[in-house]
């Protein structure tokens, strides 16, 4: 177990290292980083000061050292626009993103799991066929367009829901649905295939042989086991939702991390953009590590492989 | 449903049924809907100048926010209405097909060539080459695609060609992963071993023996990727880091349309979105069909 943990942790550390080096090199190889990192309209003296601070006259290795040292200290630079450290901004927006992601997750599971299970119970039936069309649409309709259509219908025509901003439960509904839409299709597909697999297993056959009513077999024996892969995927998707919400948050002016990233582009606030990429990537690397370790705790076979 | 004759008999006499089979193969089972959509969009893209009634980048302010022809206040001059500076929506949609097609196909090809090459190298050479390529692939896969693309766009600045390169750079990892896995199993097969015994160089084996065998997988992936790439381009343009205005890109039209959304100018939001969905849907349907047809191993994906 210890060897497994160490190896996985080493992989994660390597990924974080490669992540930082990727971002570092892209910023420097494509041109003069001072242009990106200095505020628009800064004086010559400011430019020179930043050059010496970044150590652009020194070797790339030394520069990378400073870059990583700052990151480890939690120094992601200062936002040009808000004039506060980027990390503070990021952390202040994180709860909003998590709230939106959680609401979107509830939506996607409420739609995805029951419809996937029903499709699996009656394979080839009208529900299954309808579900296939729904899944296809879910994967083909961009979330931000779904968002725009929702605004058009519920805010402009019906006037029921606020079109943008945050604060009340009503504000969460539309962005959560727009964000959860794509994932609902993915969860439905997985719920269906996972349920099909479970329904073909020996213990379900046994439950049927015992003479249990079909509803009980499905609800009690199959459902719980079919749920495991779906919930695992949902865990990963929750982190993904925090990081892919940029367009949906922009559409609804939802003050999360995605909106922060959009402001970063709109105000040419490069430190914000850089920090969002770095932190988003790191978040996913760390979550992948945690999931790997949890798997190993649950399933001993994984611990001993290789 | 007609029964197909046994494939590829060496007997020359059997050539007749093969000829007869061809037309049947063409119409039967082909996904007509996605092909029709893609061909229509491709024709619109190629002949945009001839088909579009107006210049897509120039409008007249006196004609702004005209509704579609069948709504009260609309006129047949502007079939699908006009936008906030009086440009014809239909013309912009037609020219937008060109942008989407160009960006989508080129980016998918760049990503495919890069990813397949690295995947083959990684899978066949193994050792440290494999380690380096796969660790980079893993790391880049961990980056949220859209965020990564926005970061790159913020560095190199928005332009039509930059978007192509950025999307290629973001999405090659998807190919590298799958192609490497494929190569790992292919390289244990007899025909590769025989080629080694016959004295083929590593390059020859990768180019002549492995590449043709992973081509099917790469094509299936590319088709499925087309939809993802087109949505990404639309999202980037929508956010203002994609195709720069006044070019008529669908994502850009949605961004412009948002300005008239609260006033109820629905045609500026609905039509570009319908175009995006149709193209992505067609790509996904075609990809699904190709997957079943070309690559049974990918059916589980």
The predicted structure's pLDDT at residue B2: 43
Nearest chain B CA: its distance from A213 CA (Å): 31
B16 pLDDT above the threshold of 70 = no
Average pLDDT across chain A, whole number: 84
Decide if A187 contacts A234 (C-beta within 8 A).
yes
pLDDT of B280 higher than 80: yes
What per-residue confidence (pLDDT) applies to B28? Answer: 59
Q: Which residue of A has its CA nearest to B279?
A: A140
SS3 readout for chain A? CHHHHHHHHHHHHHHHHHHHHHHHHHHHHCCCHHHHHCCCCCCHHHHHHHHHHHCCCCCHHHHHHHHHHHHHCCCCCECCCCCCEHHHHHHHHHHHHHHHHHHHHHHHHHHHHHHHHHHHHCCCCHHHHHHHHHHHHHHHCCHHHHHHHHHHHHHHHCCCCCCCCCCCHHHHHHHHHHHHHHHHHHHHHHHHHHHHHHHCCHHHHHHHHCCCCHHHHHHHHHHHHHHHHHHHHHHHHHHHHHHHCHHHHHHCCCCCHHHHHHHHHHCCCHHHHHHHHHHHHHHHHHHHHHHHHHHHHHCHHHHHCC
Which residue of chain B is at minimal alpha-carbon distance from A261?
Answer: B147
Query: What is the pLDDT, as a whole number, of residue A221?
Result: 79
Cβ contact, residue pair B270, A149, below 8 Å = yes
Closest CA to A131 of A172, A87, A91, A191: A191
**Chain A closest CA to B242's CA: distance in Å?**
11
Nearest CA in chain A to B278: A140
Measured in angstroms, the CA of A286 and the nearest CA of chain B are apart by: 10
Give SS3 for B88. Answer: strand
Residue B27 clears pLDDT 70, i.e. is over it: no
Higher-pLDDT residue of A168 and A9 is A9
pLDDT tens, residue by residue, A1-56: 788 888 889 989 999 999 988 888 888 776 667 777 776 667 777 777 777 776 66
Among residues of chain A, what percentage have pLDDT more than 90?
9
Indicate the range of A118-132, A160-174, B138-152 predicted with least confidence: A160-174
Whether A155 and B241 lie within 8 Å, measured CB to CB: no
At B13 the pLDDT is: 39
Q: How far is CA A20 from the centre of its chain?
A: 19
Please state the rounded mean pLDDT for residues B236-261. Answer: 87
Q: Vertex A14, ends A12 and A16: CA angle to 5°? A: 70
Chain A residues with CB under 8 Å of B169 CB are none
d(CA B276, CA A23): 31
CA distance A22 to B77: 52
Q: Is the peptide bond before B246 cis (omega within 30 degrees of 0)?
A: yes
Q: For residue range A207-262, list pLDDT tens digits in order.
A: 888 888 888 888 877 888 888 888 888 888 888 888 888 899 988 888 989 889 88
**Nearest Cβ partner for A19 among B139, B238, B277:** B139
Residue A167 has pLDDT above 80, yes or no: no
The conformational region for residue A167 under phi > 0 = left, psi -120 to 50 = alpha, else beta, is left
* Helical packing angle, B145-156 and A2-29, nearest 10°: 30
First to last CA, chain B: 27
pLDDT of residue A210: 85
pLDDT score recorded for residue B23:
45
Among A139, A145, A244, select the one facing B144 at the smallest CB separation: A244
> What is the model's pLDDT at position A303?
66
Q: How far apart are CA B21 and CA B144, in angstroms?
A: 47
Interchain contact, A142 vs B240, CB within 8 Å = no
Give the chain A residue whose CA is nearest to the CA of B139.
A15
Q: Which of A24-33, A61-70, A74-83, B214-223 has the lowest mean pLDDT?
A: A24-33
pLDDT at site A163: 75
**Nearest CA to CA, how far is B257 from chain A (Å)?**
9
Are A265 and B150 within 8 A, CB to CB?
Answer: yes
Cβ-contact B65, B56 below 8 angstroms: no
pLDDT above 90: residue B109: yes
- pLDDT score for B172: 93
> Which among B240, B264, B277 has CB closest to A265?
B240
Q: Please report the pLDDT score of residue B118 as a whole number.
A: 94
Q: Mean pLDDT throughout B20-39?
A: 68
What's the rounded mean pLDDT across residues A121-137? Answer: 84
Q: How far is CA B123 from the centre of its chain?
A: 25
- What does the pLDDT read at residue A103? 93
Q: Which residues of chain B have a CB within 8 Å of the CB of A261?
A: 147, 150
Confidence of residue B70 (pLDDT cuts 50, 70, 90): confident
Report, as an integer, the average pLDDT of B5-22. Answer: 41
């Amino acid at each position: 177990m210890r060897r497994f943990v160490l190896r996985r942790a080493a992989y994660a550390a390597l990924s974080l290292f490669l992540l930082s080096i990727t971002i570092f090199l892209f910023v420097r190889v494509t041109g003069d980083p001072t242009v990106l990192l200095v505020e628009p309209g800064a004086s010559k003296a400011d430019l020179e000061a930043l050059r010496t601070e970044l150590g652009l006259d020194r070797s790339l290795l030394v520069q990378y050292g400073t870059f990583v040292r700052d990151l480890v200290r939690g120094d992601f630079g200062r936002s040009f626009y808000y004039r506060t450290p980027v990390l503070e901004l990021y952390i202040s927006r994180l709860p909003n993103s998590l709230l939106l992601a959680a609401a979107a997750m509830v939506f996607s599971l409420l739609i995805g799991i029951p419809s996937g299970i029903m499709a699996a119970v009656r394979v080839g039936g009208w529900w299954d066929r309808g579900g296939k069309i729904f899944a296809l649409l879910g994967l083909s309709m961009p979330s931000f367009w779904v968002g725009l259509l929702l605004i058009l219908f519920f805010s402009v025509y019906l006037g029921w829901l606020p079109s943008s901003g945050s604060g009340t439960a009503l504000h969460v509904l539309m962005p959560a649905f727009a964000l959860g839409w794509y994932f609902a299709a993915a969860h439905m597909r997985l719920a269906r295939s996972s349920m099909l697999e479970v329904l073909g297993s020996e213990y379900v056959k046994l439950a049927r042989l015992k003479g249990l009513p079909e509803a009980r077999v499905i609800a009690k024996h199959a459902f719980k086991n079919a749920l495991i892969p779906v919930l695992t995927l949902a865990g990963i998707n929750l982190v993904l939702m925090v990081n892919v919400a940029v367009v949906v948050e922009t559409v609804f002016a939802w003050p999360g991390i995605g909106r922060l990233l959009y402001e970063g582009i709109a105000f040419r606030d490069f430190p914000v953009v850089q920090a969002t990429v770095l932190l988003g990537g790191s978040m996913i690397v760390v979550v992948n590590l945690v999931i790997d370790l949890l798997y190993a705790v649950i399933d001993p076979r994984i611990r001993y492989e290789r | 449903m007609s029964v197909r004759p046994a494939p590829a008999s060496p007997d020359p006499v059997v050539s007749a049924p093969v000829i007869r089979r061809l037309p049947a193969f063409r119409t039967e089972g082909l996904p007509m809907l996605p092909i029709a959509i893609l061909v229509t969009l491709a024709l619109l893209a190629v002949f945009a100048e001839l088909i579009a009634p107006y210049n897509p980048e120039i409008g007249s302010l006196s004609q702004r926010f005209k509704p579609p022809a069948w709504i009260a206040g609309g006129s047949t001059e502007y079939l699908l209405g006009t936008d906030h500076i009086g440009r014809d929506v239909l013309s912009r949609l037609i020219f937008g097909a060109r942008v989407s097609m160009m960006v989508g196909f080129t980016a998918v090809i760049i990503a495919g060539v890069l990813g397949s090459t690295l995947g083959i190298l990684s899978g066949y050479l193994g050792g440290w080459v494999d380690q380096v390529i796969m660790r980079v692939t893993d790391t880049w896969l961990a980056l949220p695609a859209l965020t990564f693309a926005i970061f790159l766009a913020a560095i190199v600045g928005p332009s039509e060609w930059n978007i192509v390169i950025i999307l290629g750079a973001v999405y090659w990892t998807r190919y590298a992963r799958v192609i490497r896995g494929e190569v790992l199993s292919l390289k244990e097969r007899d025909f590769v071993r025989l080629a080694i015994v016959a004295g083929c160089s590593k390059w020859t084996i990768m180019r002549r023996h492995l590449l043709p065998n992973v081509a099917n997988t790469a094509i299936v992936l590319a088709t499925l990727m087309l939809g993802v790439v087109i949505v990404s381009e639309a999202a980037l343009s929508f956010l203002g880091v994609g195709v720069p205005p006044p070019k008529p890109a669908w994502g850009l039209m949605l961004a412009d349309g948002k300005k008239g959304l609260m006033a109820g100018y629905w045609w500026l939001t609905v039509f570009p979105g319908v175009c995006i969905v149709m193209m992505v849907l067609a790509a996904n349907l075609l990809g699904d069909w190709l997957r079943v047809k070309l690559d049974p191993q990918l059916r589980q994906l």
